[in-house]
């Protein structure tokens, strides 16, 4: 057997093996860690051995898409378990959704959306606590476009505070590849306040038996200060039309996102 035949046979084998069934594709700072914890509690679900596999947003893994399940032993499924993972940059990273579709057109996609104003501020606060961000929130917002040019033609993984909040573009990208019955959109505030009600919908979406979960707050860190009314209003002026789009696209009431 020559090397080309070996590669083709290996590719066919990989494509025919068990595939990952679903991904929590976003968004960052919207409660995906809590959702990941809830999903791990279900006996019929096997999540990746750790959150944030970062497979589909890394160019170096493109050639290995058929071997995603075996990637670095990130998954250890038992018989008859659904397999999933949560990497919240996937919905934002422009090439990820296409790569997910190329890997498994039947993949189910879960997206948790948070008030984009609060998400941006939480993102900035996280980078401040990590010691990565030195600018004030307003300065970071005002300089975002210039700073993000450093990463072109890719998106910026750190300073994309506002850019990650354009949810309508991310939803359209997902819907271009995946039909409605393979997509689930969750409002962060509902997941936070009514986790069992939300998770009942998730269990039905994934086709697994219903179980109850205990409310979990994960990775919640104290802010150095609350967002000011002036800062909130500035971002509301930026996002107000986007919020209206989300309401229309998902048939949601997002009026709670429009006041501080």
Q: pLDDT tens-digit profile of 195-225?
A: 999 999 999 999 999 999 887 776 667 777 8
Secondary structure, 3-state, the chain: CCHHHHHHHHHHHHHHCCCCCEEEEECCCCCHHHHHHHHHCCCCEEECCCCCCCCCCCHHHHHHHHHHHHHHHCCCCCCCCEEEEECCCCCCCCCHHHHHHHHCCCCEEEEEECCHHHHHHHHHHHHHHCCCCCCCHHHHHHCHHHHHHHHCCCCCCCCCCCHHHCHHHHHHHHHHHCCHHHEEEEEHHHHHHCHHHHHHHHHHHHCCCCCCCCCCCCCCCCCCCCCCHHHHHHHHHHHHHHHHHHHHHHCCCCHHHCCC
Instruction: Say which residue, 60 or 246, is predicted with more confidence.
Output: 246
Q: pLDDT tens-digit profile of 131-169?
A: 999 999 999 999 999 999 999 999 999 999 999 999 999
* Euclidean distance between CA atoms 82 and 23, whole angstroms: 11
Q: What domains does the chain contain, in order, with CATH numbers?
A: 3-257 (3.40.50.300)
pLDDT reported for residue 14 = 46
Q: pLDDT tens-digit profile of 78-132?
A: 888 999 999 999 999 999 999 999 889 999 999 999 999 999 999 999 999 999 9
pLDDT reported for residue 231 = 96
Average pLDDT, the chain: 89
Q: What are phi and psi of 24, to 5 degrees?
A: -90, 105
pTM of the full structure: 0.87
């Amino acid at each position: 057997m020559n090397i080309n035949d070996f590669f083709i046979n290996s590719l066919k084998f990989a494509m025919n093996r068990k595939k990952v069934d679903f991904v929590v594709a976003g968004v960052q700072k919207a409660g995906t860690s809590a959702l990941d914890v809830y999903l791990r509690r279900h006996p019929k679900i096997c999540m990746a051995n750790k959150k944030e596999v970062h497979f589909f947003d890394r160019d170096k893994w493109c050639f290995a898409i058929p071997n995603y399940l075996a990637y670095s032993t990130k998954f250890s499924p038992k018989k008859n378990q659904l397999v999933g993972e949560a990497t919240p940059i996937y919905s934002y990273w422009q090439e990820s959704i296409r790569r997910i579709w190329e890997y498994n057109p039947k993949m189910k996609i879960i997206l948790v959306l948070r008030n984009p104003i609060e998400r941006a501020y939480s993102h900035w606060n996280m980078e401040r606590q990590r010691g990565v961000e030195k600018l004030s929130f307003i300065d970071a917002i005002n300089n975002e476009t210039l700073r993000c040019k450093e990463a072109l033609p890719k998106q910026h993984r750190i300073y994309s505070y506002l850019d990650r909040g354009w949810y309508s573009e991310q939803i359209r990208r997902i819907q271009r590849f995946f039909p409605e019955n393979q997509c689930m959109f969750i409002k962060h505030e509902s997941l936070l306040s009514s986790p069992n009600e939300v998770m009942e919908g998730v269990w039905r979406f994934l086709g697994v038996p219903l179980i109850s979960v205990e409310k979990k707050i994960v990775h919640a860190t104290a802010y150095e200060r609350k967002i000011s009314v002036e800062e909130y209003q500035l971002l509301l002026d930026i996002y107000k039309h986007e919020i209206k789009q989300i309401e229309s696209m998902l048939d949601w009431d997002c009026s709670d996102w429009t006041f501080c």
